[in-house]
Amino acid sequence: MPQFSYTAKSRDGQTRTGVVDAADRRAALAAVSRLGLLPVRVDQGGGGAAGAGKALPAGKGGAKKRGGGGLKLSRPNWMSPQERALFTNELADLLEGGMTLGNALNALARRADDGSGRSQVIAALRDAIVGGESFSAALSRFPKVFSPVYVSMIRAGEASGAMDDVLRRLIDQDERVQNMRSKIRSAMVYPAVVLCMGVAVAVFAMTFILPKFESIFAQMGADGLPPMTRALLGANAWFKKYWLLLVALVAGGIFAFRKWTATERGRRAWDGFKLRAPLVKGMVACGVYASFASTLESLLRNGVPILRALTITGETVGNAVVGDELAKARDRVTDGTTISGPLEQGGVFPPMVIDMIAIGERTGDMPRALGHVAKRYERELEKNIEIFTTALEPIMIAGVALVVAFIAVAIMQAVMSVTNGMNVQ
């Protein structure tokens, strides 16, 4: 049977080398893991301890340490929300099965060894753990993948020794957030489809139907055309001549709006407008309050201090106005426990939220009170989404119908004028 030399890390961080008999390299990796070691290098023959041969894969392209231990990836360090949820779920399963964190990450890295951004993130986390870093510190290297909420809850799990419980709560938290976002996105699908269909119908009428009548309209002369027909022909001529300018103006407006909302002042103004805008304010506010309550509940339930929890919640709540209010409330908190009073002073949060938080403070069970708030506003969100779609549907249909009706009436008026003129003759 072939022999494989290995270099591995023990649980106390010491480097160990040796030789195992195995049928292939995968079996050698399993044999080293059964010894209670975390494999770093496994090679067939005698080159492992000397450093020759192939290192344990960290995804195609590999993760590398450069510049004084700084960790950089040769490909984007990215996971989609679905991939992050799968990673969290699988890691929780392995830890609940009794596997150590290092061995669990090593198993996931081997399982996902396809060169994708996900495989490289997992391999980089494994290498950081082998190098002696804490899991939360390793996660904080990837802020685009793991949010401050995720990192803080993992840090709390490290302190309490209940990492698998924290991972399960992270899975529940992520599912709640994704469900809220999917509901809001779904509410926008139908109006977007109706708007696109209306624009397509208008463009089709102006491009294919109207030109068939232009020769007839030209014989009548501009003075003989009804006002609506003249307006339609003028608009059609303007679009044909300046459509590139129109596209450029629309694209420039979208770009300028995005740049403006990326600034502190613009983001606050836009987020404040969404909380006041008719038809959407109920949906936006319910989503924000539900996100606030569920995030703060998860952090407090996992032992994150209240001031730190308020900071993280303000950064991740998704609305600059509410985030600013949480920052002000954090500054007003003096004893580290009472937050209902400071939140009430700002006037941003509704009385129901303030009352439930006050009840939680009196009973000593703030997470439970926040859980009730989150569920209440998740239900309200569903109702407001239904109201939004019910109200927007006739508005969009009426707008499209008016445009199509204007084009049809303008053409029919001109045709009727020609017909009447022929009858008179």
| Listed residue (286, 306, 296, 272) closest to 377, CA to CA | 286
Question: Tell me, what's the pLDDT at 218?
Answer: 67
**Average pLDDT rounded to a whole number, residues 229-245:** 84
Lowest model confidence (mean pLDDT) among 84-98, 182-196, 309-323: 182-196
Distance CA 80, CA 82 (A): 5
- Total-model pTM: 0.65
The CATH number, out of the four listed (1.20.81.30, 3.20.20.140, 1.10.10.60, 3.30.70.1350), of the domain defined by the range 63-146: 1.20.81.30
Q: Please, which pLDDT band fits residue 59 given cuts at 50, 70 and 90? A: very low
Stretch (H or E) spanning 65: strand 63-66
The amino acid sitting at 13 is G
Q: Would you tell me how many other CB atoms lie within 10 Å of the CB of residue 393?
A: 13
Question: Tell me, what's the pLDDT at 304?
Answer: 82
Has residue 61 got a pLDDT over 50?
Answer: no
Distance CA 114, CA 89 (A): 19
Q: Do 130 and 101 touch, CB atoms closer than 8 A?
A: no
Stretch (H or E) spanning 332: helix 320-332
- What percent of the chain has a predicted confidence (pLDDT) above 70? 84
pLDDT tens track for 353-372:
999 999 998 888 889 999 99
Lowest model confidence (mean pLDDT) among 32-46, 57-71, 282-296, 394-408: 57-71
CA-angle at 80, arms to 74 and 85, nearest 5°: 120
Of the ranges 46-55, 177-186, 282-291, the best mean pLDDT one: 282-291
Fold held by 201-425? Receptor-associated Protein (1.20.81)
The distance in angstroms from the start CA to the end CA of the chain is: 107
Kindly state the tokens that stand for 380.
């309200």
236/225: higher pLDDT: 236
Question: Tell me, what's the pLDDT at 62?
Answer: 41
Question: Tell me, what's the pLDDT at 220?
Answer: 59
Has residue 283 got a pLDDT over 50?
Answer: yes
DSSP code per residue over 347-376: S-S-HHHHHHHHHHHHHT-HHHHHHHHHHH
Could you identify the residue written with the tokens 């089709």? 204
**Alpha carbon separation from 169 to 111, 143, 172 (Å, rounded):** 24, 20, 5
Distance CA 363, CA 369 (A): 9
Question: Tell me, what's the pLDDT at 99?
Answer: 83
pLDDT tens track for 367-419:
999 999 989 998 898 888 888 878 877 888 888 888 888 888 888 887 777 67
Question: Tell me, what's the pLDDT at 221?
Answer: 58
Could you identify the residue written with the tokens 């919640």? 313
The sign of the CA dihedral 10, 13, 16, 21 is positive
pLDDT tens track for 69-83:
444 444 456 788 888
Average pLDDT, the chain: 79
Lowest model confidence (mean pLDDT) among 120-129, 248-257, 336-345, 348-357: 336-345
**Average pLDDT rounded to a whole number, residues 235-259:** 90
Residues facing 38 on adjacent strands: 9
Has residue 222 got a pLDDT over 70?
Answer: no
219/120: higher pLDDT: 120
Q: Please, which pLDDT band fits residue 199 given cuts at 50, 70 and 90? A: confident
- What percent of the chain has a predicted confidence (pLDDT) above 90? 9
The amino acid sitting at 330 is R
Radius of gyration over every alpha carbon of the chain, rounded to an integer in angstroms: 31
Lowest model confidence (mean pLDDT) among 33-37, 148-152, 261-265: 33-37
Classify 347 as helix, strand or coil.
coil
Classify 335 as helix, strand or coil.
coil
Q: Do 112 and 119 touch, CB atoms closer than 8 A?
A: yes
Kindly state the tokens that stand for 151.
């990192």
